[in-house]
């Protein structure tokens, strides 16, 4: 600190109460900010009568001081104060607000409640995952201070071009909680860090984490009526604090060092060339509906933070009890502040927005044509290089796949990609035309936005795993304790002849082939592919398609599978390498279906079992196409793909290879390992004019 700073007048307190010295603060920024000699606390409420800052020492049941903000400490609707002599490490702070209790007008002030700061950057109270909380504690989720002084050295966001991304969707705890992970701290950020070499060897370059904002795993906890298994909120789609990382995900959470541990993970991921994307939940909070707890927002400014019915109840567009009022200007700024904070302070490379359509609703819940929040995020100077990906629907009936307000920036989870590829793979008719669109990056949906608007996936955390998709016709969610009523019924899955696990070699061989078919389509399609944790080693949830409440082996990655499923893992890692080796698979632009470089072939040309004769008919289950490498940037090989989703093998006429070259087999899903996939330059030569593509198989040739 320079002497000049020390001589500032505001270095010294002007007030004292309850043994604490303080002075008037600054309204911005909101939250708790370390300033010379003290901490500036600032919080907003539009309709409270008064506000009290409540100070605790870490883990103590009662506060050691309560300071009511003097009238002159409020500017507009913002209360701010600088407090001196605080122990930054052991301080826990909260607020009490007094104001009207009038639910009919949406006001639910209750001065008996201690509320956490909406801008809290560290939250205590659930420091260790699954540790039984003290339910009698008067302040459950305790705001703490963050140093925000991490030594990043040269690290920054990686900015991998979107067209080159390969996303791996994983759950922090589920990735290494299983004993087979053999990491030093299972189920934590630190444990995940030890698995970076695995991600690297698999070939992904972006890790998308299920929610890591502080949530309460004990929310709605219950025992399964039959098994007695403790069911928790394992997924974490229920935010307690938007600015705070989940303490229970840190091995050092009990020491309050989750911020450093997460940042260290991110730094190491970046060092390995892997981006990090967060699954963020801004559509609702953990406070539920009128029966839910007071955590923060409800007691600070209920009418501002939530979309309410005319009677003062909570609209439930999220399916989780309440709806965050995202397009209220104050809440909009909070979301913006939050994402800027994560992008700048944590070097996050991108965000995937859960039920993002809610972010496009107005303060009454009606869809907006030009939602200010989405526009602000798209044009924000700090977020300008972050990937923004929308789950383009909500639980209130909005479905915007293909029409989400994009501003040239937003990409979408392409639910139509998932649905049509699943149906095509299981042999449904009438899909060849649609599959041709999906392979090209869905120009039918995103013609004005380009293929990188399409986040392609076949499975994600929500639904069947890849293996279960080929092993079950129906969901089997009995373990969730809701009589199999939860989870989607619309799975487009096929069990290949037997429901669930079997020893039938024919069924198992077919399942293996179907998994490879799905993966091949995913990684050959234009757009951004996303792989779900464990699909590369055939992870199963026993047919459970909604494992949100299972903190157990049902949801966890079993690392023994790496050995048991080494052939499948080999297939995936070679497939990912194949995509990265071939720029013709990853363009930024849509195909033009013409030859604009004079190579003699169009950039993409469709075929059927005969060259130049694609069968778009209603009962067709076959499609072939050729990508011309001369149209790629940089120039690449030609790639020919023959897809046969008919049950029996069929001869496909092969188009002529480029002059002076021969086709080589790159992938043939009908073959067993190691002849199912070869290195990027291809395997055996194909000199014949025809190839037999096995039933329900895909053959890829390269020349």
Partner 1 sequence: MNLETSEANGIGTARLEGSLDGKTAPEVREQLRPFLAANSKLILDLTKVDYLSSAGLRLLLLLYREISGRKGKLVLVGVSEDIRTVMSHTGFLNFFTLANSEAEAKQAVA
Residue 160: name the closest of 630, 600, 580 by CA.
580
> CB of 604 within 8 A of CB of 591?
yes
633 binds partner 1 (CB under 8 A): no
**Of 590, 576, 479, which is closest to residue 535 (Cα–Cα)?**
576
Of 251, 334, 470, 584, which one interacts with partner 1 (CB under 8 A)? 251
Question: Minimum distance between the CB of residue 89 and partner 1, rounded to whole angstroms?
Answer: 3
User: Per CB under 8 A, does 147 bind partner 1?
Assistant: yes
Among residues 256, 360, 441, 543, the one that binds partner 1 under rule CB under 8 A: 256
Q: Could you tell me the smallest distance in angstroms from the CB atom of residue 396 to partner 1?
A: 41
Closest contact distance (angstroms) between CB of 69 and partner 1 is 26
The partner residues of 616 in beta bridges, in order of sequence, read none
Compare residues 35 and 633 and give the one whose CB is closer to partner 1: 35
Residue with Cβ nearer partner 1 (5 or 403): 5
Q: Which CB sits closer to partner 1, 194 or 419?
A: 194
Q: Which is nearer to partner 1, 172 or 431 (CB)?
A: 172
Answer yes or no whether residue 267 interacts with partner 1 by CB under 8 A.
yes
Q: Which of 336, 324, 349 is nearest to 379 (CA)?
A: 336
430, two tokens: 């009438």
For partner 1, the binding residue among 117, 169, 217, 261 (CB under 8 A) is 261
Give CA–CA dist 226/478, Å, rounded: 10
Q: Residue 244, interface with partner 1 (CB under 8 A)?
A: no
156 lies in the binding site for partner 1 (CB under 8 A): no
Tokens representing 542 are 């026993």
The one segment of 185-193, 362-370, 646-654, 689-697 that binds partner 1 by CB under 8 A: 185-193
Which of 45, 80, 181, 264 is the binder for partner 1 (CB under 8 A)? 264
What does R_g of the chain's alpha carbons equal in angstroms? 27
Q: Could you give the CA distance from residue 494 to residue 425 in angstroms, rounded to a whole number?
A: 9
Min dist. Cβ of residue 252 to partner 1 (A): 5
Residue 254 Cβ vs partner 1, minimum distance, rounded to whole Å: 10
Tell whether residue 554 is a contact of partner 1 (CB under 8 A): no
Among 14, 105, 184, 560, binds partner 1 (CB under 8 A): 184
By CB under 8 A, residue 189 contacts partner 1: yes
* Cα→Cα distances 429→367, 442, 565, Å: 35, 19, 31
CB of 39 to partner 1, least distance (A): 13
Q: Is 664 within 8 Å of 683 (Cβ atoms)?
A: yes
Give the shortest CB-151-to-partner 1 separation in angstroms: 6
In the list 173, 263, 284, 664, the residue contacting partner 1 (rule: CB under 8 A) is 263
Torsion of CA 54, 57, 60, 65, to 10 degrees: -40
State the nearest-atom distance from the C-beta of 508 to partner 1, in Å: 41
Give the residue numbers annotated as catalytic, written as ranges.
Answer: 354, 391
Spatial CA neighbour of 51 closest among 96, 18, 82: 96
Element (H, E) at 81: strand 78-84
Q: Give the three-state DSSP class for 530.
A: strand
Least distance CB 382 / partner 1 (angstroms): 24
Q: Contact region for partner 1 (CB under 8 A) — 31-39, 84-92, 480-488, 674-682?
A: 84-92
Indicate whether 446 belongs to the interface with partner 1 (CB under 8 A).
Answer: no
Q: Judged by CB under 8 A, which stretch of 87-95, 164-172, 279-287, 405-413 contacts partner 1? A: 87-95
Strand 122-124 vs strand 142-144: parallel, antiparallel, or unpaired? antiparallel
| C-alpha triplet 619, 624, 625: angle, nearest 5° | 135
Through-space distance between the first and last CA atoms of the chain, rounded to whole angstroms = 65
| Closer of 189 and 410 to partner 1 (Cβ) | 189
Cβ proximity to partner 1: between 50 and 254 the closer is 254
Q: How far is CA 624 from CA 629, 655, 683, in A?
A: 16, 10, 20
Q: Are 377 and 342 in contact (CB under 8 A)?
A: no
**What does the alpha-carbon distance between residue 117 and residue 297 come to, in Å, rounded to a whole number?**
8
Q: What is the DSSP letter of 654?
A: P
Q: Is residue 311 involved in binding partner 1 (CB under 8 A)?
A: no
> If DSSP codes are grouped into helix, strand and coil, which group holds residue 675?
coil
**Nearest residue (CB) to partner 1, 37 versus 290:** 37
Q: Which residues pair with 53 in a beta bridge?
A: 67, 95
Identify the three-state secondary structure at position 66.
strand
- Asked if 192 interacts with partner 1 (CB under 8 A), we say no
Verify binding: residue 56, partner 1, rule CB under 8 A. no
- Binding to partner 1 (CB under 8 A): which residues in 646-685? none
Determine, following the binding rule CB under 8 A, whether residue 149 of this chain makes contact with partner 1.
yes
Helix (H, G, I), strand (E, B) or coil at 20: strand
- Interface ranges with partner 1 (CB under 8 A): 87-90, 147, 149-151, 184-185, 188-190, 193, 250-252, 255-257, 260-261, 263-264, 267-268
């Amino acid at each position: 600190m320079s002497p000049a700073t020390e001589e500032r007048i505001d270095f010294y307190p002007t007030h004292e109460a309850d043994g604490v010295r303080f002075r008037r603060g600054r309204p911005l920024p909101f939250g708790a900010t370390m300033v010379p000699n003290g901490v500036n606390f600032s919080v907003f409420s539009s309709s409270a009568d008064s506000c009290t800052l409540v100070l605790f020492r870490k883990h103590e049941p009662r506060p050691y001081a309560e300071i009511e903000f003097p009238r002159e400490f409020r500017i507009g609707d913002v209360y701010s104060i600088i407090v001196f002599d605080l122990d930054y490490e052991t301080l826990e702070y909260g607020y009490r607000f007094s104001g009207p209790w009038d639910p009919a007008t949406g006001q639910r002030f209750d001065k008996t409640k201690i509320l956490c700061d909406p801008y809290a950057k560290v939250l205590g109270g659930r420091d260790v995952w699954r540790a039984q909380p003290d339910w009698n504690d008067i302040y459950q989720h305790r705001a703490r201070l963050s140093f925000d002084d991490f030594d990043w050295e040269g690290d920054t966001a990686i900015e991998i071009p979107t067209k080159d991304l390969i996303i791996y969707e994983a759950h922090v705890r589920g990735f290494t909680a299983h004993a087979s992970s053999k990491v030093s701290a299972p189920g934590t950020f630190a444990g995940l860090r030890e698995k970076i070499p695995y991600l690297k060897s698999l070939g992904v370059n972006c890790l998308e984490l299920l929610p890591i904002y502080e949530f309460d795993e004990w929310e709605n906890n219950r025992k399964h009526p039959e098994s007695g298994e403790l069911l928790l909120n394992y997924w974490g789609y229920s935010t307690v604090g938007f600015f705070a990382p989940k303490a229970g995900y840190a091995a050092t959470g009990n020491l309050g060092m989750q911020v450093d541990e997460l940042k260290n993970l991110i730094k190491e991921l970046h060092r390995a060339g892997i981006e990090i994307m967060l699954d963020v939940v801004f559509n609702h909070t953990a406070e539920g509906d009128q029966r839910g707890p007071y955590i923060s927002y409800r007691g600070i400014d209920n009418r501002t933070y939530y979309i309410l019915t005319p009677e003062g109840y909570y609209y439930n567009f999220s399916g989780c009890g309440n709806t965050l009022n995202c397009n209220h200007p104050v809440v909009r700024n909070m979301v913006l502040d939050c994402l800027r904070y994560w992008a700048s302070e944590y070097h996050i490379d991108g965000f995937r927005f859960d039920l993002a359509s809610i972010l496009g609703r107005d303060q009454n819940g009606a869809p907006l044509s030009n939602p200010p929040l989405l526009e602000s995020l798209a044009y924000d100077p700090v977020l300008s290089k972050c990937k923004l990906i929308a789950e383009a629907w909500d639980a209130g009936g909005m479905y915007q796949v293909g029409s989400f307000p994009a501003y040239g920036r937003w990409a979408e989870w392409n639910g139509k990609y998932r649905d049509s590829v699943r149906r095509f793979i299981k042999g449904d008719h009438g899909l060849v035309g649609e599959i041709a669109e999906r392979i090209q990056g869905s120009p039918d949906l995103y013609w004005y936005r380009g293929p990188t608007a399409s986040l392609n996936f076949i499975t994600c955390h929500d639904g069947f795993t890849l293996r279960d998709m080929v092993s079950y016709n129906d969901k089997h969610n009995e373990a969730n304790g809701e009589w199999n009523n939860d989870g989607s019924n619309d799975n487009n899955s096929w069990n290949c002849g037997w429901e669930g696990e079997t020893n039938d070699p024919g069924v198992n061989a077919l399942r293996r082939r179907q998994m490879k078919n799905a993966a091949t389509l995913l990684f050959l399609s234009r757009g951004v592919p996303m792989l779900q944790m464990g699909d590369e080693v055939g992870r199963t949830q026993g047919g459970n398609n909604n494992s949100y409440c299972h903190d157990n082996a049902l949801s966890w990655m079993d690392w023994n599978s790496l050995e048991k499923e080494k052939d499948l893992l080999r297939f995936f890692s070679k497939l990912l390498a194949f995509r990265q080796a071939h720029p013709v698979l990853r363009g930024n632009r849509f195909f033009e279906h013409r030859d604009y470089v004079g190579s003699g072939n169009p950039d993409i040309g469709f075929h059927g079992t005969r060259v130049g004769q694609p069968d778009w008919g209603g009962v067709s289950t076959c499609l072939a196409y050729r990508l011309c490498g001369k149209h790629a940037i940089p120039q690449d090989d030609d790639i020919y793909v023959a897809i046969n989703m008919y049950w029996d093998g069929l001869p496909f006429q092969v188009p002529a290879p480029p002059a002076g070259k021969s086709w080589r087999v790159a992938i043939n899903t009908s073959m067993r390992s190691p002849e199912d996939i070869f290195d990027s330059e291809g395997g055996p030569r194909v000199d014949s004019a025809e190839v037999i593509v096995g039933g329900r198989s895909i053959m890829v040739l390269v020349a």
